[in-house]
Amino acid sequence: MKFEATPLQGVYLLTPKVFGDERGFFLESWSARTFANEGFDLEFVQDNHSRSARGILRGLHYQTEHTQGKLVRVTQGAVFDAVVDMRRDSPTLGQWYGTTLSAENHQMLWVPAGFAHGFYVLTDVADFQYKCTDVYHPQSEVSLAWDDPQVGIEWPLPAGDIPQLSGKDAHGLAFAEAPLLD
Ligand SMILES: Cc1cn([C@H]2C[C@H](O)[C@@H](COP(=O)(O)OP(=O)(O)O[C@H]3O[C@@H](C)C(=O)[C@@H](O)[C@H]3O)O2)c(=O)[nH]c1=O
């Protein structure tokens, strides 16, 4: 597994070692030992799997209580995955990072607690799977506006297109109004 730092402290792009043979491929998507060797002592309590159609954007989400670290990957299709630093004392507060995760590149993103997270689906179907370090806590969930101009995420949207959003994500909070995390 290759661990690459991103411009946002604590966020890592991971590229697993893929063993291909005549049967297909094999990879380790999570190994407590491998991550511990890289200095990540993680305990996951929930695994999630969503499926979405092309043009759907989920997010940007975070929880102010039971803040979740997420190890995210795509097992069918491709998405543009994005995170926004919501950590009050972070030198990169309000900055974003995005990358394409796909079933082909097998890459994963480690998103520590303290970030809003979302993704935009680039293929007809995308299966998105992720491990979380804390439980779902809808009472404290925040939807940050995907298109907040102050954050300025450069989503790879076809010109003029608006992504398909859930009701709550269509009314996401502006960054200036969104609660910050300690
Ligand atoms: C996230 C979640 C949702 N649900 C339920 C609530 C709801 O009825 C249905 C769909 O929920 P949502 O619309 O919030 O699903 P979704 O928009 O896919 O939410 C997810 O978005 C991505 C970007 C994230 O980062 C995740 O942490 C999570 O917030 O699933 C759970 O039961 N457990 C969970 O952990």
pLDDT of residue 151: 98
CA neighbor of 71 nearest in space, from 143, 13, 140, 8: 13
SS3 state of residue 120: strand
2-23 confidence digits (pLDDT tens): 999 999 999 999 999 999 999 9
Question: Stretch 53-69: mean pLDDT, rounded?
Answer: 98
125-162 confidence digits (pLDDT tens): 999 999 999 999 999 999 999 999 999 999 999 888 89
pLDDT of residue 159: 85
- Please report, for residues 29, 134, 147, the alpha-carbon distance to residue 73 in angstroms, rounded to integers and kept in the order given: 9, 17, 23
Question: Stretch 45-74: mean pLDDT, rounded?
Answer: 98
Q: Report the distance separating Cα 178 and Cα 182, nearest Å.
A: 13
Task: Name the residues annotated as catalytic.
Answer: 61, 130
pLDDT of residue 160: 82
Q: What percent of the chain clears pLDDT 70, i.e. is strictly above it?
A: 100
Q: Whose CA is nearest to atom 30 of ligand 1?
A: 50
Domains observed in the chain: 2-177 (2.60.120.10)
Q: Whose CA is nearest to atom 23 of ligand 1?
A: 118
For residues 100 and 22, is the Cβ–Cβ distance under 8 A? no
Query: Which helix (H) or strand (E) covers residue 167, if one does?
Result: helix 167-170
87-119 confidence digits (pLDDT tens): 999 999 999 999 999 999 999 999 999 999 999
Count of helix runs (H) and strand runs (E) in the chain: 2, 13
> Residues of 144-172 as b/e, b for ≥16 C-beta within 10 angstroms?
bbbbbeebebeeeeeeeeebbbeeebeeb
- Please report, for residues 1, 91, 120, the alpha-carbon distance to residue 33 in angstroms, rounded to integers and kept in the order given: 11, 30, 31
Q: Whose CA is nearest to atom 28 of ligand 1?
A: 61
Q: Is 170 left (phi over 0), alpha (psi -120 to 50) or beta?
A: alpha
Mean pLDDT over each residue of the chain, to the nearest integer = 97
On whether ipTM exceeds 0.90, the answer is: yes
Tokens of 145: 């506006």
Tokens of 33: 């030992």
Ligand 1 neighbours (beta carbon < 6 A): 48, 50, 58-59, 61, 117-119, 136, 166
